[in-house]
């Protein structure tokens, strides 16, 4: 295949320019952070800038009823379904300049290259900006892609309010980004999303490109452990029934199980509360959250079984009562084989010596929902120190360039297949 | 020695009668609980009832400037310092009928026996009711005995306010229990306090009487453990720096150290907080309280050394930062040998087959402060299920009788020594 090349300076400068909208100065951050919550005035400024750049290339804009933006460059046969790429322009309250933004601007850079070199593809290519990916202003996350994929109902999402009581629908009207009254039936041949990793794996391996084979399945639980509280003084250690001592053993063993279960296993105890806690009273009750993740459904089931067995065994040993409640779950999301092969080919052609690492994303992305209605895969570049949702988030210009080149050649491959 | 015997029905009935003041009905409680906070109208009712009973025996009442009540039965030589016994009549918000009350009413029962049988002692005997032992209304605990022993300054304590902003001094004035303007120089030959155990040791050993050789030394710390938070998904287990995983190992090891250190060792982690906790974020920081107790100063020092070494070793292994701050401490309080021998003799005479258990109190009592100004020791009877500060608190009439008999004969022994 012919290999095309992005303009790395233009890509970097565009990311930096759009990052000025909501820019935050932070000590220890190489390029500063970004505060640009979904559907605020700053988000509109970023959208306007982005749309202006795309229109300058001759792209057409379509906005769906949830405010997702589709910027289209026509192909030779516009009756064919478009290839899509994109991500989001909103950030966390103390977010960085790359999460989401990179995927949108690398898509734009791909269109700029094609236009500059006057390359025609068979299929149209669309760069998408999904609404409210972060979930920082309107909950839950990934509302735009969720409505697009039929996971959420349009009217429910339009009625969703932020903490100030303003609805998402009101904000779309106010900002003028709600141009149609219904969400289109998704028309997408293949969807590719380029993103920073948000974790430390690629950096640890010193590999500049990751091919994302899917997203981990996730299950959340609330675990309640009941023993008996007693005064810290009069009760000898051997006559206690301390719920926290049992829970400590559970945390140690659960995290060990995940460390040894499979390469994709994750076990996180993020929240822990002792009701009526007091320095001189041993814990009668402890509640903690449990977040289990695995790449395949059978592995997730097995991880859950092992975790539950461990909790019950330790509780029995310490004479504690146990309650476990599942509060949320998402099945594992394997990405499309054909899309993955396209990325591999594009990477091999662009960077024959790179040897990309195939990994499973532990975090959700718009691609998870899009994959329910179109063949989908993702590309990762490293995040320095594994940071994201953080003002110190950083990926080097060279790494951004490699990811963008792979995306560009993947899009060409995909858009020329029929 | 001649052995005297209390009237167990009179003792029980008096405890139940005074327990009606503030009585609470609670499911699963054999005799109900008690809600009688310090220096409330109910506390005054209980004091009035108690003072009335003592005056009916011919006792004189002295009230000091902090509202402690001294009910005196004269001896043959009233120039000698009195033997004192007593405890407190205030309760926790959801307290029981025995904590404190038993010590006061067993003292009264002792005086009743002496009066009934017309027994004269060489020294005067005083039954004391200490003000605000619980610390549930005015903080800290043991204010009355603390002022008596010179641990707290009178004016500071009088100015101490409850949550409603009412000062302790105002309440003393209102209730008419502040008859002198200064606290006396303590004049006490020996002090004996009879109390329910508040722990499970005597019940577990099936022994109805404990001779309390002292009170554990206590040290409180705040420990702060800092790792690095990361997203629960993208970060593989082996690349994490989870503060909670380190803390879990600390909790397991610290409690094991205390279990194996000495019979009197206590280690309690009662409070644990994860700032900015979230289900899908591993803990970047964990703060926990640490309460260490030991019977001897050298043992407490050694326990602290082992605990700190363990915390630092685990932190090093998990690449965590540690901060430890001592927030409060009380040295071990060994009771007086002569007083302990008197209790042993009285017990051997009253109950030759009882074989009392010598133990160290893990909880503080008025006796801890009194011991700073007078030879002191304590007697314990079992608490069912080790409960105290609890509406289900219970000690059987037979156990209360034994404790009261031992107190009675101890007081006679002490009051006849010169």
What ipTM is given for this predicted complex?
Answer: 0.84
CB of B279 within 8 Å of any CB in chain A? yes
Cβ atoms within 10 Å, residue A58: 11
Measure in Å the smallest separation between the Cα of A105 and chain B Cα atoms.
23
Q: Which residues of B fall within a CB distance of 8 Å from A201?
A: 234, 236, 239
CB of A363 within 8 Å of any CB in chain B? yes
Cβ contact, residue pair B364, A233, below 8 Å: yes
Residue that the structure tokens 């038993």 belong to: B102
C-alpha closest to that of B393 among B202, B237, B233, B199: B199
Beta partners for A309? none
pLDDT at B182: 56
State the burial class of residue A222 (Cβ atoms within 10 Å of its Cβ: 0-12, 13-18, 19+).
Answer: middle
Q: Which residues of A fall within a CB distance of 8 Å from B291?
A: 232, 279-280
pLDDT at A13: 98
pLDDT digit string (tens) for A179-200? 764 555 678 999 999 999 999 9
Q: Write b or e for each residue in A261-291: b if 16 or more Cβ atoms lie within 10 A of its Cβ, otherwise e.
A: beebbbbbbbbbbbeebbbbbbbbbbbbbbb
A273-287, B111-125, B158-172: least confidently modelled range = A273-287
Closest in B220, B232, B238 to A259, CB measured: B238
Gyration radius (Cα) of chain A, Å: 24
Instruction: Give which of B237, B361, B392 to mutate to test A binding, by max A Cβ within 10 Å.
Output: B237
pLDDT at A184: 58
Q: Cα separation of A296 and B192, whole Å?
A: 69
Please give the torsion angle defined by the CA atoms of residues A227, A232, A237 and A242, in that order, rounded to the nearest 10 degrees: 20
Cβ contact, residue pair B248, A248, below 8 Å: yes
pLDDT at B1: 78
Beta strands B217-226 and B321-330: pairing type? antiparallel
Q: Which residues of A fall within a CB distance of 8 Å from B271?
A: 274, 277-279
Beta strands A210-215 and A357-361: pairing type? parallel
Mean pLDDT of all residues in A204-226: 97
pLDDT at A85: 98
CB of A121 within 8 Å of any CB in chain B? no
HEC states along chain A? CCCCCCCHHHHHHHHHHHHCCCEECCCCCCCCEECCCCCCHHHHHHHHHHHHHHHHCCCEEEECCCCCEEEEECCCCCCCCCEEEEEECCCCCCECCCCCHHHHHHHHHHHHHHHHCCCCCCCCEEEEEECCCCCCCCCCCCHHHHHHCCCCCHHHHHHCECCCCCEHHHHHHHHCCCCCCCCCCCCCCEEEEEEECCCCHHHHHCCCCEEEEEECEEEEEEEEEECECCECCCCCHHHCECHHHHHHHHHHHHHHHHHHHCCCCEEECCCEECCCCECCECCCEEEEEEEEEECCHHHHHHHHHHHHHHHHHHHHHCCCEEEEEEEEEECCEECCHHHHHHHHHHHHHHCCCCCCEEEEECCCCHHHHHCCCCCEEEEEECCHHHCCCCCCCCCCHHHHHHHHHHHHHHHHHHHCCC
The two structure tokens encoding residue B75: 């001896």
Q: Cα separation of B320 and B308, whole Å?
A: 14
Q: Cα separation of A378 and A360, whole Å?
A: 10
Cβ contact, residue pair A248, B247, below 8 Å: yes
Mean pLDDT of chain A: 95
Mean pLDDT of all residues in B254-276: 95
Cβ contact, residue pair A234, B282, below 8 Å: no
Instruction: Give which of A268, A284, A333, A368 to mutate to test B binding, by max B Cβ within 10 Å.
Output: A268
Residue B183 has pLDDT above 60, yes or no: no
Phi and psi at residue B2, to the nearest 5°? -75, 140
pLDDT classification of B180: cutoffs 50, 70, 90? low
Cβ contact, residue pair A199, B231, below 8 Å: yes
**Is A168 in contact with A143 (CB distance < 8 Å)?**
yes
Cβ atoms within 10 Å, residue A182: 8
Q: Which residues of A fall within a CB distance of 8 Å from B329?
A: none
Gyration radius (Cα) of chain B, Å: 24
Q: How far apart are the first and last CA of chain A?
A: 16
Mean pLDDT of all residues in A72-94: 95
pLDDT classification of A229: cutoffs 50, 70, 90? confident
Q: Which residues of A fall within a CB distance of 8 Å from B389?
A: 231
Please list, in sequence order, all residues whose beta carbon lies within 8 angstroms of the beta carbon of residue B351, skipping any fewer than 6 positions away: B209, B402, B405, B406
Cβ contact, residue pair B274, A272, below 8 Å: yes
Q: Cα separation of A201 and A207, whole Å?
A: 9
Return the percentage of chain B with pLDDT > 90, whole number: 87
CB of B295 within 8 Å of any CB in chain A? no
**Is A234 in contact with B199 (CB distance < 8 Å)?**
yes
Please list, in sequence order, all residues whose beta carbon lies within 8 angstroms of the beta carbon of residue A65, skipping any fewer than 6 positions away: A147, A154, A158, A178, A180, A181, A182, A183
Cβ contact, residue pair B270, A279, below 8 Å: yes
Q: Which residues of B fall within a CB distance of 8 Å from A386?
A: 230, 234-235, 239
Q: Cα separation of B162 and A185, whole Å?
A: 66
pLDDT classification of A169: cutoffs 50, 70, 90? very high
Closest in A237, A244, A271 to B258, CB measured: A237
Measure in Å the smallest separation between the Cα of A79 and chain B Cα atoms.
39
Cβ contact, residue pair A247, B242, below 8 Å: no
Mean pLDDT of chain B: 95
Closest in B233, B239, B388 to A200, CB measured: B239
Q: Cα separation of A192 and A202, whole Å?
A: 19
Sign of CA dihedral B200, B202, B205, B206: negative
Residue B389 has pLDDT above 90, yes or no: no
Q: Which domains does chain B have, with CATH numbers?
A: 8-215+333-415 (3.40.630.10), 217-330 (3.30.70.360)
Cβ contact, residue pair A200, B235, below 8 Å: yes
DSSP sequence for B359-403: EEESS--HHHHHTTTS-EEEEEE--GGG--SSTT----HHHHHHH
Please list, in sequence order, all residues whose beta carbon lies within 8 angstroms of the beta carbon of residue B408, skipping any fewer than 6 positions away: B4, B5, B6, B106, B109, B110, B113, B114, B346
pLDDT at A84: 98
Q: Which residues of B fall within a CB distance of 8 Å from A252?
A: 245, 248-249, 252
Q: Which residues of A fall within a CB distance of 8 Å from B265?
A: 237
The two structure tokens encoding residue A297: 């459904």
Cβ contact, residue pair A231, B388, below 8 Å: yes
C-alpha closest to that of B134 among B82, B92, B105: B92
Beta partners for B223? B288, B324
Mean pLDDT of all residues in B234-238: 91
Q: Which residues of A fall within a CB distance of 8 Å from B239?
A: 199-201, 204, 386
pLDDT at B28: 87
Beta partners for A330? A218
Sign of CA dihedral A279, A283, A285, A289: positive
In the stretch 32-51 of chain A, residues with CB closer than 8 A to chain B read: none
3-state secondary structure of B137: coil
The two structure tokens encoding residue A159: 């009625």
Residue A112 has pLDDT above 70, yes or no: yes
Q: Cα separation of A29 and A18, whole Å?
A: 17
Cβ contact, residue pair A231, B201, below 8 Å: no
pLDDT digit string (tens) for A364-409? 999 999 999 999 999 999 999 998 888 899 999 999 999 999 999 9
Q: Cα separation of B404 and B412, whole Å?
A: 12
CB of A248 within 8 Å of any CB in chain B? yes
Sign of CA dihedral B227, B232, B237, B238: negative
Cβ contact, residue pair B272, A277, below 8 Å: yes
Please list, in sequence order, all residues whose beta carbon lies within 8 angstroms of the beta carbon of residue A166, skipping any fewer than 6 positions away: none
pLDDT at B388: 85
Residue that the structure tokens 């593989």 belong to: B236
CB of B92 within 8 Å of any CB in chain A? no
CB of A186 within 8 Å of any CB in chain B? no
CB of B233 within 8 Å of any CB in chain A? yes
Q: Which residues of B fall within a CB distance of 8 Å from A281?
A: 268, 270
Cβ atoms within 10 Å, residue A197: 24
Q: Which residues of A fall within a CB distance of 8 Å from B233?
A: 198-199, 216, 218, 266, 293, 361-364
Chain A residue with the nearest C-alpha to that of B256: A237
CB of A195 within 8 Å of any CB in chain B? no
Residue A361 has pLDDT above 80, yes or no: yes
Mean pLDDT of all residues in B86-111: 96
CB of B325 within 8 Å of any CB in chain A? no
Cβ contact, residue pair B252, A245, below 8 Å: yes
pLDDT digit string (tens) for A272-324? 999 888 888 899 999 999 999 999 999 999 999 999 999 999 999 999 999 99
pLDDT at B231: 86
**Is A86 in contact with A188 (CB distance < 8 Å)?**
no
pLDDT digit string (tens) for A29-44? 999 999 999 999 999 9
Q: Cα separation of B155 and B60, whole Å?
A: 26
Instruction: Give which of A99, A217, A248, A310 to mutate to test B binding, by max B Cβ within 10 Å.
Output: A248
Mean pLDDT of all residues in A126-133: 97
Q: Cα separation of A333 and A335, whole Å?
A: 6
Q: Which residues of A fall within a CB distance of 8 Å from B380?
A: none
Q: Which residues of B fall within a CB distance of 8 Å from A238?
A: 259
Beta strands B33-34 and B60-63: pairing type? unpaired
Chain A residue with the nearest C-alpha to that of B259: A237
Q: Which residues of B fall within a CB distance of 8 Å from A361?
A: 233-234
Q: Which residues of A fall within a CB distance of 8 Å from B282?
A: 268, 270
Cβ contact, residue pair A280, B269, below 8 Å: no
């Amino acid at each position: 295949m012919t290999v095309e090349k992005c303009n790395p300076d233009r890509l970097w400068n565009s990311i930096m320019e759009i990052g000025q909208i909501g820019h935050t100065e932070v000590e220890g951050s190489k390029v500063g952070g970004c505060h640009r919550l979904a559907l605020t005035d700053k988000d509109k400024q970023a959208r306007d800038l982005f749309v202006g750049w795309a229109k300058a290339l001759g792209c057409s804009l379509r906005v769906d009823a949830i405010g997702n933006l589709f910027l289209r460059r026509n192909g030779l046969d516009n009756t064919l379904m478009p290839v899509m790429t994109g991500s989001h322009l909103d950030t966390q309250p103390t977010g960085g300049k790359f999460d989401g933004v990179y995927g949108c601007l690398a898509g734009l850079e791909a269109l700029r290259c094609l236009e500059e070199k006057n390359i025609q593809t068979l299929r149209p290519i669309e760069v998408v900006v999904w609404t409210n990916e972060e979930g920082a202003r309107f909950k839950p996350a990934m509302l735009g892609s969720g409505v697009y994929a039929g996971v959420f109902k349009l009217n429910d999402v339009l009625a969703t309010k932020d903490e100030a009581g303003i609805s998402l629908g009101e904000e779309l009207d106010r900002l003028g980004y709600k141009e149609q009254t219904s969400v289109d039936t998704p028309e997408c041949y293949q969807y590719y999303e380029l993103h920073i990793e948000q974790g430390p794996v690629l950096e640890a391996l010193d590999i500049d490109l990751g091919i994302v084979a899917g997203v981990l399945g996730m299950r959340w639980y609330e675990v309640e452990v009941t023993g008996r509280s007693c005064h810290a003084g009069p009760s000898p250690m051997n006559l206690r029934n301390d719920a926290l001592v049992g829970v400590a053993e559970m945390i140690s063993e659960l995290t060990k199980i995940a460390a040894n279960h499979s390469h994709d296993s994750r076990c996180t105890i993020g929240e822990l509360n002792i009701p009526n806690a007091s320095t001189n009273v041993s814990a009668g009750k402890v509640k903690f959250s449990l977040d289990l993740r695995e790449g395949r459904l059978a592995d997730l089931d097995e991880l859950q079984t092992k975790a539950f067995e461990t909790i019950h065994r330790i509780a029995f040993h310490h004479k504690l009562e146990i309650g476990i409640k599942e509060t949320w779950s998402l099945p594992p999301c394997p990405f499309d084989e054909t899309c993955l092969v396209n990325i591999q080919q594009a990477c091999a052609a662009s960077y024959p010596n790179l040897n990309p690492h195939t990994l499973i994303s532990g975090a959700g992305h718009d691609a998870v929902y899009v994959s329910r209605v179109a063949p989908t895969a993702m590309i990762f570049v490293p995040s320095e120190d594994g940071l994201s949702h953080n003002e110190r988030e950083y990926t080097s210009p060279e790494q951004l360039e490699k990811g963008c080149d792979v995306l560009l050649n993947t899009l060409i491959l995909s858009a020329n297949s029929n």
